Amino acid sequence: MKKSILLVMVFAFYINVSMAQDWSKELPGKINLVKMSDAGIAIVGTDAALYGVNDQGKILWENKKLRKVEAERVQILSGTELVFISDKGMFSRNRVLNAYTGKEYANSGNKGDNIIGVRVLHGTNQLWTIKGTRGINTWDLGTNTLQYGWGRKDITRDIAVNKVTSLTWNFSGAQPLLYTGRNSAIVHLNLTHLANVDLSTGKDIWRFDWKPFKKVKGAKASTLSNGFAAMKLDEESNTLYFPYINQLVAIDVKTGAAKWNPKKGGKTGKVLNMYVTKDGVLVLTPKGLQLVDKSSGNLVWKKPIKIKNAVESILLKDKNDFFAISKGSIIKVDVANKSTKVLTEKIKFSGKESFDNLEIIDDLIILSASQNVAAFNKNTGEKIHHTYLKAPGSSLLAITQNIVLAAVAAAATVNSQNINSRNSTSGSSYTYHSYSPAVMKSGGSASEKNGDLMYISTKFKDADAKGFGIAKVNKKTGKIVEKIVIGDRDPLYAINHNKGKFFYKSDKKTLAMKSLK
């Protein structure tokens, strides 16, 4: 009996050690946001100020002008040491801050010249700041100096951006930049703007002429957030494939000239997703899957491969295999034989959720949402696991989503990871950095893709962990790797995945940090 009690005591001690905080620090004012910059510095907002805190618990800077900043107003500029803060109020001024120092970047100093949105160009270490719906300034990140600007004479239609607040827009869901040289990239700004731009000067190397193409009243820009596929660059043939309204357009990257007859080629319908293959361009449209001849733009198949509710589907490529999600089921597409095979039954997530992320890890197709994750064998469709952890409170229950929006979100997520890198079909002859020099010097990105892991907010009722917290889950197995008890029904936390540091709000005014296993 004594031996059993001793074992329990030892076990309890071990659990307490594993759950212990590395440090905690009380901050002035109630904490209302905790986010992780790619520099590994936590951005913490309170009623009193905005702070930058390192993994040693040291406050690196504070900005008292930015009080009560809402989480959705903080945009982490991927691959850099910068964050974009959207301010609010009559005299608001949006800011780009350095996570290490709190120093403000891209501030012209001119009265009324407010930044309303930003975009990082990793290849040339530049920052675009939107100064109006038809204005962009380009800043050198290394020197924090203004290089050049575009105004209404250069950008004749509103830039295709997403509105966040009354005075803030962003490029989330926009077409990625496709680099064509060390200092040049294909840029898409609005419905009729598509150009190969010299990024060192802002001058067009060529701008595509849309005049021969049919105009559709009320047509929207070909952005990911509008449900269009990401444009693709085929380096072997120097061809850009671009989804435009209800057709696919092929453009010579060297000259900017159309390769297909506008009235005959690329008559696909709205392109929702696409991949360039040796047999042609495989496109997903509302009518299903179709193969397009690369030389003429003609449709190779007399009839498309039917996919139920194709507009609610999503296409995923893994080496030479293609998979689609339709009506909640996974199907495998055989392009050579123009056939499909249903791999799974309809996948139903618990808690009124629909998947909002889709990926392939090794031999598994992983579908996930905030409270659910499921893994299926990509060859047989066998369900490896479906893990659901109940949300800890009504405020975290996911709203039922239309799977169309989930598919768009998944596509946008995938492409946002490459938003400033080359989105091509083969290896690049140029070297481009995913991270800014400052972040690379510090050891790389702190918010890299999690790989096999995801974090789910839930309530633990186990002997080894009781209370509200975060479950660290292996997406491949569905097993909980670590239980992190926070004690808050609506936890605020951020993770430095590179170093395994978990920052969280432990009580009203206290920030704490725990090293993950």
Encode 242-264 in three state secondary structure.
EEECCEEEEEECCCCCECCCCCC
Q: What is the dihedral of CA 81, 420, 170, 451, to 10 degrees?
A: -70
For the cut 80, the answer to whether the pLDDT of residue 367 exceeds it is yes
Question: What pLDDT is stored for residue 449 in this prediction?
Answer: 47
- Token pair recorded at residue 282: 């495989």
**Per-residue pLDDT at 432:** 57
Q: What was the pLDDT predicted at 144?
A: 92
How far lies 239's CA from each of 49, 208, 332, in Å? 50, 13, 28
Q: Would you state the pLDDT for residue 102?
A: 96
Q: What is the per-residue pLDDT for 203?
A: 96
Q: Measuring CA to CA, how many Å separate 28 from each of 42, 344, 508?
A: 16, 52, 10
> Does residue 48 surpass a pLDDT of 90?
yes
Structure tokens at 98: 């350095």
Tell me what pLDDT residue 443 has: 63
pLDDT of amino acid 307: 83
Give the separation between CA 498 and CA 437, rounded to whole angstroms: 17
Instruction: Taking residues 334-360, report their average pLDDT.
Output: 87
For the chain, helix (H) and strand (E) counts, in that order, are 3, 39
Look at 371 and 434; give whichever has higher pLDDT: 371
pLDDT at 445 over 90: no
Structure tokens at 417: 């990871």
**Which pLDDT band, with edges at 50, 70 and 90, does 52 fall under?**
very high
pTM for this prediction: 0.86
Q: Are strands 145-150 and 162-165 parallel, antiparallel or unpaired?
A: unpaired
- What are the tens digits of pLDDT across the range 57-83? 999 999 999 999 998 889 999 889 999
- Which pLDDT value is given to residue 359? 85
Q: What is the pLDDT of residue 409?
A: 41
Return the pLDDT at 167.
75
Count Cα neighbours of 126 within 13 Å in the Cβ-side half-sphere: 24
pLDDT band (50, 70, 90) for residue 414? very low
Reported as a single tens digit per residue, the pLDDT across 115-129 is: 888 999 988 999 999
Helix (H) or strand (E) run with residue 439 in it:
helix 437-441
| DSSP 8-class letter at 424 | B
How far is it, in rounded angstroms, from Cα 319 to Cα 343? Answer: 18
Q: How many other β-carbons are positioned within 10 Å of the β-carbon of residue 435?
A: 20
Whole-number pLDDT of residue 90: 65
Burial grade of 15 (CB within 10 A; 0-12, 13-18, 19 or more): middle
At residue 315 the predicted structure's pLDDT band, cuts being 50, 70 and 90, is confident
**CA–CA gap between residue 182 and residue 317 (Å, rounded):** 28
Q: What is the pLDDT of residues 137-163, one digit of tens each?
A: 999 998 999 999 999 899 989 898 877
Q: What is the pLDDT of residue 387?
A: 96
